[in-house]
Amino acid sequence: MQNTQSFLNPIIATNVRAVNNLGFTVSPDIANSDLAILNTATMVSLPTSFGGGIMYGLVTTNGNGDLTWTRGSDAWRTNRERLVQRTPWNLVQYSEQFDNAIWGKTNVTITANATTAPNGTTTADKVVATATSANHFTNTAVVANGICTVSVYAKASEYQFVRVQELNSGKYNSAFDLSTGVASQGTAGTTASIQSVGNGWYRCIITFDSGGTNLAVGFVGIPTLTSGVNYTGNGTSGIFIWGAQLVEGTLPQPYLPTSDRLNVPRIDYSQGTACMLLEPQRTNVSFYSTILNTTGGANNWTQGANNPCAINQIISFTGFQTAAKYTKTTGATTADYLYKNSVTVTSGSTYTVSVYIKLGTASNAVIVINNTIAFNTIVGANFVCSTANGFNTYEWKRVQITFVAPASNNINIHFGYHQETGVAAQADGNFYLDGLQVELGAFATTIIPTTTATVTRIADSFSRNNIYTNNLISASGGTWFVQLLNNISLTRDTFADGLILKDNSSQNGFIYTFGLSSPSAGFCLIRKVVGGVLSVIYTTTTPIVKSAIKWNGTTADVFVNGVKVVTATSFTATQLEILSGTGADTSKYISQMALFNTALSDIQCASLTSDVTDGFATASLYNGYVNQIGGVIENTNGLINNIQNFK
């Protein structure tokens, strides 16, 4: 399998927090502009920088404005280059803590935090070979598929060479000179490169085809460039290492620090600009989301005698060469079938099937879902992908089909040739497909890849405590601003409080609730809680893009899309301590969020919420940020112009 992902800066070594350092001087004529309003915020959350389980705040710079993220699983996102990417992409755990038990130590000792790392922190470790003639290395187990790229930052100490190796196979490794910045060619099947990142540090990189899923990534200092891992150490000589990473694909990708790899926020670009993504827990109940074979059997892919399906034909929406090609010949018969066989579902429940399609020489791609008893088409459970509805030969598009599961508790999903009445025939020629997903729910969520079993992605959530204690709001009130994209037209999985600002006892606060179905009268409602009593203060059937809630210790007002929709509703609480959000009900794309420790004026709230095509975090503002140590920073100026299109 081939990978052709590209990144603007594939070997950055510095991970940063984006920090507000604007220092605006505001003239009277722009005193109510978004720029001036931003300068008074006590907390600003933008999808710009993250690390571990934290989405870093731009304001404040002391961590009080950071959002703590929770999601106990991997997940996927659309990155700024329209590729669908695993998050976290670094498959190594505890990437900077080689003293952690996750890292094996074979005849080496680890001194933690022994010197200054490439990012300026004292977090780089020293690896010293023991005084014995034997194999020497520190290593960790990683599960990955196909072509992989391993990287580590290394700096010379007593030894000036480092060896980077995949130990399970023993085939793939290379040595690097940390004095001259030269990479040896490495063993057969290994591509090696090295990049200076300053202060004697080098990023040492090897790429190889793993040929399997169980890897062991190892590093060690060596006495000479030609030394293997077996040599005689002296108990004092070694090298410094920091920032280990393994990614799937041929490029190292920006370094992402990890601990247990859980709870990593997602900055998603599928809505046309960067957003913080929250999604519900979902399970892909369809095995083999990518076609690996067509041998048939329950929950596997089956094709007819003409073998119309060929695997791993072109680059998929992930950037990997995993997409299958389906070809229908003239005068096709049942020998041209391709279908996913006997996917287990629960009768009477609502499911959504999704798959990525790209047209080839065929003018359409037909998808038909039927039950597995009488092979009757499920009403409405079909879709014809054609140029008439936007499908083409140069970009990937995702199809979503929502239906009620049949009494058989099993479905077949047909691609291409079919014999169903009332559904358009498959045209001659070929098309491409990848990423099949079958999930319980009325809308599709981000891809959950599967192989031999179902896979579950845990729901996203975030929280920030001590809002009042840290003076992000005050005794005189405050203002809560939120910008959302594409959040309101979904039938929710379960009733949940989507976004909340409340006190510690949950007796007072404000709540956004999203999604169709009871108790919402519309697509989104805003409620207040006073003395433990809930009441709806605003509901809408039109999109909420920008909204602001302000309160002054007596009453509260609500502004939506530049309009004051709630005036002076009674609200006397001020000590609101907890800001939180969840994707348990529906998917949410948060473009920006801010707190102010005063109740802004009506003019300011109207200005802040009025332009629904843009936020106050314009490109010009980013020029005022300085970089400090924290997490990964993303360029949020990269826009996606065609949502759900993947070139």
> Is the per-residue pLDDT at 4 higher than 90?
no
With residue 38 as reference, give the H or E element that holds it: helix 34-38
Look-up of token digits 């609101």: 576
Tell me, rounded to whole angstroms, the distance of Cα 179 from its chain centroid.
Answer: 37
State the DSSP code for 607.
H
pLDDT confidence bin for 632, thresholds 50/70/90: low
Is 104-248 CATH 3.40.1350? no
Q: Would you give the distance in Å from CA 640 to the centre of its chain?
A: 16
Q: Average of pLDDT values for 531-542?
A: 90
**Cα separation, 340 vs 425, whole angstroms:** 19
Q: What are the tens digits of pLDDT across the range 50-105?
A: 877 889 888 877 889 999 999 999 999 999 888 999 998 999 999 999 999 999 99
Task: Give the residues across from 525 on adjacent strands.
Answer: 513, 539
**Residue environment code for 394-427, b if the CB has 16+ CB neighbours within 10 A, otherwise e:** ebbbbbebbbebbebbbbbbbbbbbebeebeebb
Which pLDDT score, from 0 to 100, does residue 525 have?
86
pLDDT band at 585 (very low <50, low <70, confident <90, very high): confident
Question: Which helix (H) or strand (E) segment is 5 a member of?
Answer: none
Domains 16-89+460-646 and 285-457 fall in the same CATH topology = yes
- Phi first, then psi, for residue 607 (nearest 5°) are -65, -45
In the predicted structure, residue 623 carries a pLDDT above the cut 80: no
CA atoms within 13 A on the CB side of 173: 24
Distance CA 44, CA 66 (A): 9
Q: What is the pLDDT of residue 543?
A: 80
Backbone angles phi, psi at 35, to 5 degrees: -60, -45
Instruction: Return the CATH number of the domain spanning residue range 285-457.
Output: 2.60.120.260
Is residue 183 within 8 Å of 194, Cβ to Cβ?
A: yes
The confidence score (pLDDT) of residue 211 equals 74
Residue 383: CA count within 13 A, CB half-sphere: 20
Q: pLDDT per residue over 507-534, tens digit each?
A: 999 999 887 655 444 568 899 999 999 9
| Residue closest to 358 by CA, chosen among 405, 404, 396 | 396
Q: What is the pLDDT of residue 24?
A: 33
Distance CA 176, CA 188 (A): 16
469-518 residue pLDDT tens:
999 999 999 999 999 987 656 777 777 889 999 999 999 999 998 876 55
Write down the pLDDT at residue 167: 87
Q: Are 66 and 50 in contact (CB under 8 A)?
A: no
Distance CA 608, CA 479 (A): 11
Question: Does pLDDT of 1 surpass 90?
Answer: no
- Residue with structure tokens 């530049």? 562
Rounded average pLDDT over 134-157: 93
**Where exactly are the structural domains of the chain?**
16-89+460-646, 104-248, 285-457
Q: What is the pLDDT of residues 381-420, one digit of tens each?
A: 899 999 999 999 999 999 999 999 988 788 999 999 988 8
- Read off the pLDDT band of 18 (50, 70, 90): very low
Question: Is the pLDDT confidence value at 34 over 90?
Answer: no
Q: What is the pTM of this model?
A: 0.86
Cβ atoms of 46 and 625 within 8 Å: the answer is no
Q: What is the mean pLDDT of residues 97-122?
A: 96
Please state, as a whole number, how many other Cβ atoms lie within 10 Å of the Cβ of residue 68.
16
The CATH architecture one would assign to domain 16-89+460-646 is: Sandwich (2.60)
At residue 612, the pLDDT reads 61
Q: Which two tokens stand for residue 286?
A: 């369809």
Give the β-pairing of 161-166 and 172-177.
antiparallel
